[in-house]
Amino acid sequence: MAETWATLGVDLHLEPARSGGLRRGLTDALRDAVRTGRLAPGTRLPSSRTLAADLGIARNTVADAYADLVAEGWLTARQGSGTRVAARAVIPPAGAALHRGEPRRPAYNLIPGTPDVAAFPRAEWLKAARRALTAAPSDALDYGDPRGRPELRTALAGYLSRSRGVRADPDAIVVCAGFSHGLRILGTVLRARGVRTVAVESYGLDVHWQLLTDAGLTTCPLPYDELGTDTREPAPAGAVLLTPAHQFPTGVALHPDRRAAVVDWARRTGGLVLEDDYDGEFRYDRQPVGALQGLDPDHVVYLGTASKSLAPGLRLAWMVVPPALTAQVAAAKGGVDTCGVLDQLTLAEFLASGAYDRHVRSSRLRYRRRRDALVAELARRAPSVHATGIAAGLHVVLRLSPGTEQAALRAAAWHGLAVHGLHRYRHPESTAERRDALVVGYGTPPDHAWSGALDALCAALPE
Amino acid sequence: MAETWATLGVDLHLEPARSGGLRRGLTDALRDAVRTGRLAPGTRLPSSRTLAADLGIARNTVADAYADLVAEGWLTARQGSGTRVAARAVIPPAGAALHRGEPRRPAYNLIPGTPDVAAFPRAEWLKAARRALTAAPSDALDYGDPRGRPELRTALAGYLSRSRGVRADPDAIVVCAGFSHGLRILGTVLRARGVRTVAVESYGLDVHWQLLTDAGLTTCPLPYDELGTDTREPAPAGAVLLTPAHQFPTGVALHPDRRAAVVDWARRTGGLVLEDDYDGEFRYDRQPVGALQGLDPDHVVYLGTASKSLAPGLRLAWMVVPPALTAQVAAAKGGVDTCGVLDQLTLAEFLASGAYDRHVRSSRLRYRRRRDALVAELARRAPSVHATGIAAGLHVVLRLSPGTEQAALRAAAWHGLAVHGLHRYRHPESTAERRDALVVGYGTPPDHAWSGALDALCAALPE
């Protein structure tokens, strides 16, 4: 898919990247154009609206790519003068080899959001697939219940109750193709029920806010203070999207008072809490806090996923929906988006046979070791940088001195490291204090690359 | 999911049916309520709007269920007096056993749209899954290209070119979770490009029309005459949805003049043809006519699916998109709906190894034998009924004398046969002559049930 970038007279080889889609693809293509000198320093770029129209893609995609490259230091954005190629795009750190004309891919990926897919339990999964497909009735292969296969819903109900304290009836579980798919369905249902505004956390994922916006909803950020997200008064919102077990990305657990407050609010107003339990399996210092849903299954939708515990490529996630909403959620999902039954049957067997628990246990141990090594290495080599958040999940937030986030991102890029700054996760309307930090995903590198990645990270950080 | 049907004071056990979802579930529940006498003859039913609100489901779902039951004779609908339970719901044919209070499920399913899922090649599929997952790079399990795995797109490009005359570049293929999913994506893209109206065939699937309507488009039916669908002037539509190889459900192939006409129209006006090639693999009397897309890949989107050739439960289909639209279609699909990679990799291996061709060949032989047996048996036992349409696909249209379709559907129901009338496939705004016919899907029954189904069908038809 080569696109001619007529607006600038530059040929842009635009291809959706392996991970991250068009946004990442466009970011890569633009970065390469700057790196190789095809876009000279000082060049003014077309507006995001113009370039989006030219490429036939969404304006947000272009705006996001520009923002990424501004954050990385390749572009500058100033009120009144638009977006330009940085005068001297990047100052290479002493000793870094710079081969002009040879675009450089990051050697290490510490962007949060994906587990170590190299550790996917292929042999165990194939065994489960064989058992599941051999045992399945023929009609499992037909068009099915929009909620998903009953075998999987039954297995999930048992697992979620046992491991996360979720009160789950198989009839109230709806299988979906990833968290985002579930959120899109819930957005449609909320809008149909007359909800206009969804309260979200001050820090989170813009793709989630965008999904809600696409469903016709407005997102408004909740305050964020020293106790974390302030859930005491989400009005005028009709629903709240939260990551109670492990706030993404700041890494704190929702304060007990705030857990109680949001459930009180939901009961008092008939509001709905959407609980994004994306990495609830991974807590390293104690037993995980149980799901919020356990406090009030009538007012909380629990959302879990196999994307962190197994692999994003499975495209399998699940919602536990209040009984009063189940029919409407199933209808909104419809027959259109039903997930493939073979993976559903396999995951059901994987759960029932105990293979899922075994895999989670061994993953927990490995990720915990990585986190411990990271914290220890930072203390030794970059003592001014503090790892914050609870010992959980697949990422850690490294607090930096005020005003140093962009410099740290540039340094990371020059050490071949893909990593994100905290600013990109801040809701545009948040009033929370701005903090400079790196959000480091330690789950992603395969085992053989982990120590190299950690070394590059420490080298990029201020001492 | 038991729902109290407060509006009528009747408990309705509403459960999405195995196949067909809520609509079928509601139809079954209502039919049972009438059959068992819980809804007395003459009872007036709530309006579809009221019942839909009561159950928290879409109004169309209720309206469709009512229409199904009117067609089956359980309900009557009259202007001014609403929908009522039929005074004498059903006249059982002489000799039919009627056990009041024992709701009866159809013994045989001849509703078109599904293949014989009992013939799914489980062992071959598992072998391909093992080879595919063993060979896959780890990053295949990560978040991926919204177009789908490159292995599958490459295998499909080869297969579609060879078997259907499609001009396909892997870069222009977008994998989706079934035809409906693809159509929803295309609807979004068309609407974003300013298209307001999509021309459709006079006969087709209401769920497809609904998907386009949901995307903000209007559907308008093309004329249908003795040459089939008249594609000469689809204006003011900006796009046309067609089943050229085997019109669904009337069963004719698009006339060569009409094939040429629609491509001319698209070139002249910049319009887009959406080619639904749902069962293009199954032609019994000759080589299949090549895909329309081969005539003009810049103006035709080709849509194929594994739902008829393998199993609907896989939720795998594919689009071959004009190069100018590929980026936009991929962006509209986004990361939300990406299909599971394991089935994608397995299907790629299944295609590359020749297992797909072998399965299609053996299926073709089996379905052809069924169709031949059906035609022969009809000639012997119901000579007044004519099988129409080309020798292809998984269904046949049985023409009936004018005004006898509803009686035939009632008789079929009393012989334990689930089957559809042609009327339900007619676009509400079609001006085409009304025809009475049954649409008989002979793909669905497993082998052991086929002769019983055929026998029941012949028994239900007029001699």
**pTM for this entry:** 0.80
User: Mean pLDDT over residues B405-427, rounded?
Assistant: 94
Does B129 sit within 8 Å of A126, measured CB to CB? yes
Select from A328, A368, A353, A456 the least CA-distant residue to A130.
A353
Residues 354-383 of B with CB under 8 A from A: none
Q: Give the C-alpha distances (Å, rounded to integers) separating A124 from A159, A315, A353, B125, B233.
A: 18, 18, 10, 17, 57
The answer on A313 and A189 residing in a single domain is: yes
B63 near A CB under 8 A: no
Q: Residue B340 in contact with residue A313, Cβ under 8 Å?
A: yes
Does A18 sit within 8 Å of B145, measured CB to CB? yes
Question: Given A58, A75, A102, which residue is the final one in a domain?
Answer: A102
pLDDT of residue A99: 38
Determine the distance in angstroms separating the CA of B109 from the nearest CA of chain A, rounded to an integer: 12
Q: Is pLDDT at B460 greater than 80 in this prediction?
A: yes
Question: Given B298, B321, B354, which residue is the final one in a domain?
Answer: B354
The answer on A376 and A330 residing in a single domain is: no
The DSSP annotation for A151-183 comes to HHHHHHHHHHHHHH-----GGGEEEESSHHHHH
CA distance A369 to A462: 24
pLDDT of residue B455: 94
Average pLDDT score, chain B: 88
Give the domain CATH number at A176.
Answer: 3.40.640.10
pLDDT in tens, B51-84: 887 777 888 888 888 877 876 667 877 766 678 8
The answer on A439 and A311 residing in a single domain is: no
The answer on A261 and A239 residing in a single domain is: yes
pLDDT of residue B450: 95
Task: Spell out which residues of chain B touch residue A114, defining contact as CB-CB under 8 Å.
Answer: 142-143
pLDDT of residue B97: 38
Residue environment code for B206-220, b if the CB has 16+ CB neighbours within 10 A, otherwise e: bbbbbbbeebebebe
Give the domain CATH number at A89.
Answer: 1.10.10.10
Select from A308, A452, A462 the least CA-distant residue to A398.
A462
Average pLDDT score, chain A: 88
pLDDT in tens, B303-348: 999 999 999 999 999 999 999 999 999 988 875 557 899 999 999 9
User: Mean pLDDT over residues A105-131, rounded?
Assistant: 94
The answer on B371 and B342 residing in a single domain is: no
Q: Helices marked H in B36-178 — which ranges?
A: 48-55, 59-72, 122-135, 150-164
A334 near B CB under 8 A: yes
User: Mean pLDDT over residues B123-152, rounded?
Assistant: 94
pLDDT of residue B36: 67
Residues 21-40 of B with CB under 8 A from A: 21-22
Radius of gyration of chain B (CA): 23
Does B141 sit within 8 Å of A313, measured CB to CB? yes
Domain extent, residue A306, equals 120-354
Across the A:B interface, residue pairs with CB atoms under 8 Å apart total 209
The answer on B252 and B177 residing in a single domain is: yes
Q: Residue A123 in contact with residue B101, Cβ under 8 Å?
A: no
pLDDT of residue B79: 60
Does A120 sit within 8 Å of B3, measured CB to CB? no
Per-residue pLDDT band at B126 (split at 50, 70, 90): very high
User: Residue B236: is the preceding peptide bond cis (ω within 30°)?
Assistant: yes
Most confident of B83-92, B94-103, B392-401: B392-401
Residue of A nearest to B26 (CA): A327
The answer on B296 and B384 residing in a single domain is: no
Task: Spell out which residues of chain B touch residue A139, defining contact as CB-CB under 8 Å.
Answer: 18-19, 117
The answer on B335 and B197 residing in a single domain is: yes
A3 near B CB under 8 A: yes
Interface test mutation site (partner A, options B3, B145, B189, max chain A beta carbons within 10 A) = B145
Percent of chain A whose pLDDT exceeds 90: 71
Determine the distance in angstroms separating the CA of A62 from the nearest CA of chain B, rounded to an integer: 12
User: Mean pLDDT over residues B253-275, rounded?
Assistant: 96
Q: Which residues contact B364 (CB under 8 A, 6 or more apart)?
A: B281, B282, B284
- Of A61, A326, A335, which has the smallest distance from its Cβ to B331's Cβ? A61
Determine the distance in angstroms separating the CA of A144 from the nearest CA of chain B, rounded to an integer: 5
- Of B21, B313, B327, which has the smallest distance from its Cβ to A22's Cβ? B327
pLDDT in tens, A162-219: 999 999 999 999 999 999 999 999 999 999 999 999 999 999 999 999 999 999 999 9
pLDDT of residue B46: 82
Question: Given A304, A336, A354, which residue is the final one in a domain?
Answer: A354
pLDDT of residue A109: 94
Determine the distance in angstroms separating the CA of A317 from the nearest CA of chain B, rounded to an integer: 11
* Dihedral sign for Cα atoms in the order A62, A63, A66, A68: negative
Q: Residue A113 in contact with residue A24, Cβ under 8 Å?
A: no
Per-residue pLDDT band at B37 (split at 50, 70, 90): low
Task: Spell out which residues of chain A touch residue B14, defining contact as CB-CB under 8 Å.
Answer: 327
User: Mean pLDDT over residues A228-257, rounded?
Assistant: 95
Kindly report which listed range (A45-49, A327-331, A448-452, B414-418) carries the lowest average pLDDT score.
Answer: A45-49
Percent of chain B whose pLDDT exceeds 90: 71
pLDDT in tens, A384-422: 999 999 999 999 999 999 999 999 999 999 899 999 999
Determine the distance in angstroms separating the CA of B131 from the nearest CA of chain A, rounded to an integer: 10
Per-residue pLDDT band at B157 (split at 50, 70, 90): very high
The answer on B232 and B145 residing in a single domain is: yes
Does A211 sit within 8 Å of B330, measured CB to CB? no
Cβ atoms < 10 Å from Cβ of B185: 26
Give the domain CATH number at A432.
Answer: 3.90.1150.10
The answer on A281 and A301 residing in a single domain is: yes
Hey, what's the torsion of the CAs at B84, B87, B88, B89, to 10 degrees? 0
Determine the distance in angstroms separating the CA of B192 from the nearest CA of chain A, rounded to an integer: 10
CA distance A243 to B384: 66
Q: Is pLDDT at A325 greater than 50 in this prediction?
A: yes
CA distance B388 to B375: 10
A336 near B CB under 8 A: yes
The total domain count for chain B is 3
| Backbone phi and psi for residue A274, each to the nearest 5 degrees, phi listed first | -100, 110
pLDDT of residue A10: 52
A125 near B CB under 8 A: yes
Hey, what's the torsion of the CAs at B302, B306, B309, B310, to 10 degrees? 170
Residue of B nearest to A150 (CA): B18
Interface test mutation site (partner B, options A138, A181, A320, A341, max chain B beta carbons within 10 A) = A138
Task: Spell out which residues of chain A touch residue B342, defining contact as CB-CB under 8 Å.
Answer: 125, 313-314, 342-343
Q: Is pLDDT at B221 greater than 70 in this prediction?
A: yes
More confident call, B71 vs B442:
B442
pLDDT of residue B298: 97
Q: Is pLDDT at B358 greater than 90 in this prediction?
A: yes
Per-residue pLDDT band at B2 (split at 50, 70, 90): very low
B287 near A CB under 8 A: no
Interface test mutation site (partner A, options B116, B125, B143, max chain A beta carbons within 10 A) = B143
Residue of B nearest to A122 (CA): B133
Interface test mutation site (partner B, options A12, A23, A51, A145, max chain B beta carbons within 10 A) = A145
The answer on B184 and B149 residing in a single domain is: yes
User: Mean pLDDT over residues A39-64, rounded?
Assistant: 80
The answer on B48 and B142 residing in a single domain is: no
More confident call, B437 vs A3:
B437
Select from B45, B113, B121, B29 the least CA-distant residue to B81.
B45
Task: Spell out which residues of chain B touch residue A171, defining contact as CB-CB under 8 Å.
Answer: 1
More confident call, A163 vs A51:
A163
Does B133 sit within 8 Å of A117, measured CB to CB? no
A184 near B CB under 8 A: yes
Task: Spell out which residues of chain A touch residue B311, defining contact as CB-CB under 8 Å.
Answer: 141-142
- Of B138, B340, B446, which has the smallest distance from its Cβ to A316's Cβ? B340
A17 near B CB under 8 A: yes
pLDDT of residue A13: 53
Task: Spell out which residues of chain A touch residue B328, defining contact as CB-CB under 8 Å.
Answer: 56-57
pLDDT of residue A88: 53
Q: Which residues contact B206 (CB under 8 A, 6 or more apart)?
A: B64, B424, B425
A335 near B CB under 8 A: yes
Does A337 sit within 8 Å of B181, measured CB to CB? yes
Does A114 sit within 8 Å of B142, measured CB to CB? yes
Does A118 sit within 8 Å of B326, measured CB to CB? no
Cβ atoms < 10 Å from Cβ of A88: 9
Does B143 sit within 8 Å of A327, measured CB to CB? no
In which residue are the tokens 């100033």 written? A78
Determine the distance in angstroms separating the CA of B402 from the nearest CA of chain A, rounded to an integer: 33
pLDDT of residue A71: 66
